């Protein structure tokens, strides 16, 4: 092995940082949606404070999920060919269908959840804003208890469809990699499942961070029950996710098949920082311990300790999931298919598919989330005060007085 050799065409990395960002962003979509579905379908009431935030975050990230792909395509102007002339023997041909299905589902869900608010805003606001809300209301102003009950039922059904939908959206991304026999580092049926669980991890971690930041900005207390529940979820999902990641590698190492000759050195040398340090130690072991403390010693912890622990653990897990995506996408390309050598990949800061582009693509959903939140607020709702009686809004907004001193109580 001391003589390395790359196939001449393998000198180039064709799937760049953008293809690292793509599964990362769809993972956040799927993960945030799972949290909102846990509330809407499984009636986990403690997640009420982040129910709407989860939905909006999922929507905002989904809007930009295609951006890294478009930036990566050699001919983005032909991108629609994937939907117009799909070759169904390709896993990638399903992208248009799955993405659009999910976008439609999420849009409907957001609309139904916000319908009462939109009507309320359409009545109370003026000028352009009024026009906007009137357009959003789609001419339906029925807020009778029956109509709201129907809304509630539809939300539940959509969210229930959305869970397998999210699995499909993200499992599909894992399948794209997992079903390529040419690449031993990708080719495993575990890949979609690993992607799925790490997606939920990243989604929950993102919500913990965004929720805490929002509360900080708004000067409101953080709902400790909600936070602890999310931290417990995070602990569960990260344990499953990391176990699966390790399982795959342990199997490869134990089988000692031909591919281990290249994957072994890949993990211990080429990816030693991003795999061992980031993905396993800083990104998995440390948050595992932090979340264990948080979960097992929850009642002994001071509120601020709890906030800090969950915040730090979430941040580390967001890095872990990103490094996992990197290790899969880039790791799968830095060894040559000759199995005899490695190339190097360092994304530049300013290139078309470089670090700056990735940062911008990651920031855009947050800006969109901020903008949406201006029109469809994730935390205050006029309907919460005006329609205190309706079952849906009770579910979504009438939060305990301890957490929402401002938004509380019917007027």
Partner 1 sequence: MNKKEGKIDEKPEEMGRRDFIKKGCEIAAGTMFVGLLPFKSARAEKEVERIPRPEGHPDYNWEDHLYAYVIDTRKCIGCGMCVQACRKENNVPEGFYRTWVERYEVSAEDAIKVDSPHGGENGFTADTPGFNVSKGYFVPKMCNHCSNSPCTQVCPVGASYKTKEGVVLVDDKRCVGCGYCVQACPYGSRFLNPVTKTAEKCTWCYHRITRGLKPACVQACPVGARMFGDVKKEDDPVRKILAKERIQVLQPEKLTKPTCFYIGLDKGVR
Binding site for partner 1 (CB under 8 A): 2-3, 5, 7-12, 14-15, 69, 72-76, 78-79, 81-82, 85-87, 89-93, 95, 176, 180-183, 332-333, 336-340
**Element containing residue 289 per DSSP (H, E):** helix 286-296
Distance of closest approach, residue 14 Cβ to partner 1, in angstroms = 4
Cβ closest to partner 1, residue 91 vs residue 103: 91
28 close to 63: Cβ distance less than 8 angstroms: no
Cβ closest to partner 1, residue 5 vs residue 141: 5
Cβ closest to partner 1, residue 87 vs residue 144: 87
Distance of closest approach, residue 338 Cβ to partner 1, in angstroms = 6
Cβ closest to partner 1, residue 56 vs residue 176: 176
Distance of closest approach, residue 86 Cβ to partner 1, in angstroms = 7
- The SS3 of residue 335 is strand
Distance of closest approach, residue 298 Cβ to partner 1, in angstroms = 45
Cβ closest to partner 1, residue 83 vs residue 250: 83
Long-range contacts, 281-287 (Cβ 8 Å, 24+): 282/316, 282/319, 282/320, 283/316, 283/317, 283/319, 283/320, 283/321, 283/323, 283/324, 284/238, 284/242, 284/317, 284/320, 286/313, 286/316, 287/234, 287/238, 287/312, 287/313, 287/314, 287/316, 287/317, 287/320
Cβ closest to partner 1, residue 72 vs residue 386: 72
Report phi then psi at 64, rounded to 5: -110, 10
Distance of closest approach, residue 92 Cβ to partner 1, in angstroms = 4
Cβ closest to partner 1, residue 7 vs residue 349: 7
Distance of closest approach, residue 91 Cβ to partner 1, in angstroms = 7
Query: Closest Cα to residue 288, out of 213, 194, 201, 196?
Result: 201
Distance of closest approach, residue 337 Cβ to partner 1, in angstroms = 5
For residues 6 and 17, give the distance between their C-alpha atoms in angstroms, rounded to a whole number. Answer: 21
Distance of closest approach, residue 270 Cβ to partner 1, in angstroms = 18
Cβ closest to partner 1, residue 45 vs residue 255: 255
Query: Which ranges of 3-144 does DSSP label H, i.e. alpha helix?
Result: 17-40, 48-63, 67-72, 81-84, 95-124, 127-137
Distance of closest approach, residue 399 Cβ to partner 1, in angstroms = 45
Read off the tokens for 178: 């997992």
For residues 6 and 342, give the distance between their C-alpha atoms in angstroms, rounded to a whole number. Answer: 7
Distance of closest approach, residue 339 Cβ to partner 1, in angstroms = 6
Cβ closest to partner 1, residue 8 vs residue 219: 8
68 close to 361: Cβ distance less than 8 angstroms: yes
For residues 160 and 153, give the distance between their C-alpha atoms in angstroms, rounded to a whole number. Answer: 11
With the CA atoms of 197, 201, 202 and 208 taken in that order, what torsion angle do they form, in degrees rounded to the nearest 10? 160
Helix axes 224-255, 48-63, angle to 10 degrees: 50
Cβ closest to partner 1, residue 176 vs residue 210: 176
């Amino acid at each position: 092995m001391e003589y390395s050799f790359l196939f001449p065409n393998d000198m180039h990395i064709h799937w760049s940082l953008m293809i690292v960002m793509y599964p990362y962003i769809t993972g956040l979509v799927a993960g945030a949606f799972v949290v909102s579905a846990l509330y809407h379908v499984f009636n986990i009431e403690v997640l009420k404070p982040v129910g709407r935030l989860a939905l909006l975050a999922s929507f905002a990230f989904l809007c930009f999920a295609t951006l890294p792909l478009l930036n990566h395509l050699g001919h983005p102007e032909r991108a629609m060919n994937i939907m117009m002339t799909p070759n169904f023997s390709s896993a990638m041909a399903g992208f248009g269908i799955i993405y659009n299905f999910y976008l439609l589902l999420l849009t409907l869900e957001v609309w139904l959840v916000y319908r009462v608010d939109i009507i309320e805003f359409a009545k109370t606001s003026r000028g352009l804003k009024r026009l906007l809300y009137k357009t959003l209301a789609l001419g339906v102003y029925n807020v009778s208890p029956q109509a709201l009950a129907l809304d509630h039922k539809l939300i539940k059904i959509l969210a229930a469809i959305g869970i397998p939908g999210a699995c499909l959206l993200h499992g599909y991304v894992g399948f794209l990699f997992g079903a390529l026999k040419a690449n031993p580092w990708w080719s495993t049926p575990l890949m979609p499942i690993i992607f799925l669980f790490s997606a939920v991890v990243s989604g929950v971690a993102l919500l913990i961070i965004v929720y805490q930041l929002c509360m900080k900005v708004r000067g409101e207390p953080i709902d400790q029950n909600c936070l602890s529940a999310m931290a417990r979820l995070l602990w569960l999902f990260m344990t499953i996710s990391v176990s699966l990641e390790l399982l795959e590698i342990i199997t490869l190492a134990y089988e000692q098949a031909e591919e281990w000759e290249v994957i072994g050195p890949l993990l211990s040398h080429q990816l030693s920082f991003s795999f061992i340090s980031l993905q396993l130690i800083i990104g998995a072991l440390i948050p595992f311990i932090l979340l264990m403390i948080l979960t097992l010693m929850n009642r002994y912890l001071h509120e601020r300790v709890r906030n800090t622990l969950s915040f730090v653990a979430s941040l580390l897990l967001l890095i872990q999931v990103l490094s996992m995506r990197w290790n899969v996408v880039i790791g799968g390309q830095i060894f040559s298919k000759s199995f005899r050598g490695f190339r190097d990949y360092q994304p530049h800061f300013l290139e078309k598919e470089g670090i700056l582009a990735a940062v911008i693509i990651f920031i855009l959903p947050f800006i969109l989330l901020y903008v949406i939140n201006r029109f469809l607020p994730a935390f205050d709702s006029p309907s919460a005060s005006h329609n205190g009686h309706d079952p849906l809004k009770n579910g979504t907004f009438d939060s305990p007085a301890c957490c929402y001193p401002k938004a509380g109580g019917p007027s």
